[in-house]
């Protein structure tokens, strides 16, 4: 593989924007640059304010020069930047590799309709009831996935969902697990504050968490729930000093919030609808996101001093590490298969 390989990364969000994909793009870029590759990142700027369709066209035009100079394009979603990126690569004969994040169509459906459908059940239960917009997104995503060179998933769970929904051939797909960093140490909680997702989206189930914590606070005023959207370093500091982390979304592939909790040895409550369950099943507590009583009981259990000590020990025992260097190396193995 050429030492001066030119890599283009396209991503919908990038620092200073907040979110897992933003940090993924930033750290992947750094890892490739440490290998002495030439790396360019293209992301949405003011395109965020353009309507869908026009946004895709504008992004396509913006990335054309970078695509022409690239040897391979890594794309960090399946629709927003995925569609224009794959289209550009097809036109100019460039190799493209999509690394899936979440599921844009499912996320948009839940946000638009307010229906709390689980990700793993979405295509089986709702496909026949898709709106015109849903069907359009599905067809365009299908085209994008079929026309990219290879597809990287972070979990078998999501790969199985996509293979069934979009008719993908398994031999065109690869698994590259998410970042599992080395432990940062043990930090005593300053207060009984639980950290939840900073993105107040319906599929994140934040409304249920707020309802549960408002109820618990009536009998335990020391307990609080943090859901503010802050800069990444501030958010990491909040996790470090927190009592626990809680994520009860309707479907999550490789939730960075939970992985950050593990890295900081913080007990966590996580949705059962999570792709990384086989990896982290012994490190935390898992709940049905549609069962409010089960979620409430899990929080109350963690508030018990004895149970909390056991929870801290469980997460401290987790030792798996998967660095950005490992991830970059595995991405390059996919490039070699092209």
Domain CATH for 258: 3.40.50.2000
**Residues 117, 26 share a domain:** yes
**Residues 196, 175 share a domain:** no
**Residues 164, 19 share a domain:** yes
pLDDT at 30 exceeding the cut of 90: yes
Q: What is the mean pLDDT of residues 311-316?
A: 96
The reported pLDDT for the residue numbered 190 is 80
**Residues 166, 240 share a domain:** no
**Residues 290, 221 share a domain:** yes
pLDDT at 18 exceeding the cut of 90: no
The reported pLDDT for the residue numbered 204 is 94
**Residues 234, 158 share a domain:** no
Q: Is residue 286 part of a domain?
A: yes
pLDDT at 2 exceeding the cut of 70: no
Specify whether the CB–CB gap between 195 and 239 falls below 8 A: yes
Q: Is residue 204 part of a domain?
A: yes
- The pLDDT tens digits of the residues spanning 70-127 come to 999 999 999 999 999 999 999 999 999 999 988 999 999 999 999 999 999 999 999 9
**Residues 132, 229 share a domain:** no
Which residue from 265, 247, 250 is spatially nearest to 315, judged by alpha carbons?
265
Specify whether the CB–CB gap between 97 and 10 falls below 8 A: no
The reported pLDDT for the residue numbered 198 is 67
The range of the structural domain enclosing residue 57 comes to 6-179+323-336
Q: Is residue 162 part of a domain?
A: yes
The reported pLDDT for the residue numbered 233 is 84
**Residues 118, 142 share a domain:** yes
**Residues 200, 143 share a domain:** no
Q: Is residue 184 part of a domain?
A: no
**Residues 48, 24 share a domain:** yes
Residue 299, token pair as written in the block: 């929080």
Three-state SS letters, the chain: CCCCCEEEEEECCCCCCCCHHHHHHHHHHHHHHCCCCEEEEEECCHHHHCCCCHHHHHHHHHHHHHHHHCCEEEECCCCCCHHHHHHHHHHHCCEEEEECCCCHHHHHHHHHHCCCCCHHHHHHHHHHHCCHHHHHHHHHHHHHHHHCCEEEECCHHHHHHHHHHHCCCHHHEEECCCCECCCCCCCCCCCEEEECCCCCCHHHCHHHHHHHHHHHCCCCCCEEEECCCCCHHHHHHHHHCCCEEEECCCCECCCHHHHHHHHCCCCEEEECCECCHHHHCCCCEEECCCCHHHHHHHHHHHHCHHHHHHHHHHHHCCCCCECHHHHHHHHHHHHHCC
- The pLDDT tens digits of the residues spanning 51-60 come to 989 999 999 9
Q: Is residue 100 part of a domain?
A: yes
At 232, the pLDDT band (50, 70, 90 cuts) reads confident
Q: Is residue 58 part of a domain?
A: yes
Residue-level length of the chain: 338
Q: Is residue 73 part of a domain?
A: yes
The reported pLDDT for the residue numbered 84 is 97
**Residues 135, 15 share a domain:** yes
**Residues 327, 268 share a domain:** no
The reported pLDDT for the residue numbered 164 is 96
Specify whether the CB–CB gap between 257 and 195 falls below 8 A: yes
Can you name the residues that pair with 247 across neighbouring β-strands?
270
Q: What is the mean pLDDT of residues 219-225?
A: 93
Q: Is residue 187 part of a domain?
A: no
Domain count for the chain: 2
**φ, ψ at 28 (rounded to 5°):** -65, -40
Specify whether the CB–CB gap between 168 and 151 falls below 8 A: yes
pTM over 0.75: yes
């Amino acid at each position: 593989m050429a030492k001066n390989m030119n890599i283009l990364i396209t991503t919908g969000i990038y620092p200073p924007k907040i979110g897992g994909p933003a940090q993924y793009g930033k750290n992947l870029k750094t890892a490739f640059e440490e290998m002495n590759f030439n790396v360019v990142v293209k992301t949405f700027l003011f395109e965020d304010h353009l309507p869908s369709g026009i946004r895709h066209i504008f992004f396509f035009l913006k990335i054309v020069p970078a695509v022409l100079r690239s040897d391979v394009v890594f794309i960090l979603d399946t629709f927003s930047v995925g569609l224009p990126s794959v289209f550009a690569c097809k036109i100019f004969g460039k190799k493209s590799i999509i690394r899936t994040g979440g599921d844009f169509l499912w996320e948009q459906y839940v946000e638009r309709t307010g229906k709390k459908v689980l990700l793993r059940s979405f295509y089986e239960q709702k496909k026949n009831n898709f709106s015109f917009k849903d069907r359009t997104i599905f067809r365009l995503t299908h085209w994008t996935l079929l026309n990219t060179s290879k597809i990287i998933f972070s979990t078998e769970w999501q790969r199985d969902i996509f293979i069934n929904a979009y008719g993908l051939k398994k031999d065109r797909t690869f698994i590259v697990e998410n970042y599992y960093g080395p432990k940062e140490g043990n930090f005593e909680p300053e207060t009984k504050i639980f950290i939840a997702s900073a993105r107040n989206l319906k599929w994140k189930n934040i409304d249920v968490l707020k309802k549960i914590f408002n109820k618990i606070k009536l009998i335990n005023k020391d307990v609080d729930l943090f859901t503010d959207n802050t800069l990444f370093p501030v958010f990491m500091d909040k996790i470090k000093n927190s009592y626990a982390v809680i994520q009860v979304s309707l479907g999550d592939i490789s939730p960075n919030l939970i992985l950050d909790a593990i890295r900081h040895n913080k007990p966590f409550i996580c949705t059962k609808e999570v792709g990384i369950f086989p990896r982290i099943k012994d490190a935390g507590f898992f709940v049905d996101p549609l069962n409010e009583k089960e979620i409430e009981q899990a929080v109350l259990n963690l508030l018990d001093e004895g149970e909390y000590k056991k929870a801290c020990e469980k997460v401290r025992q987790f030792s798996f590490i998967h660095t950005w260097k490992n991830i970059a190396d595995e991405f390059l193995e996919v490039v070699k298969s092209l």
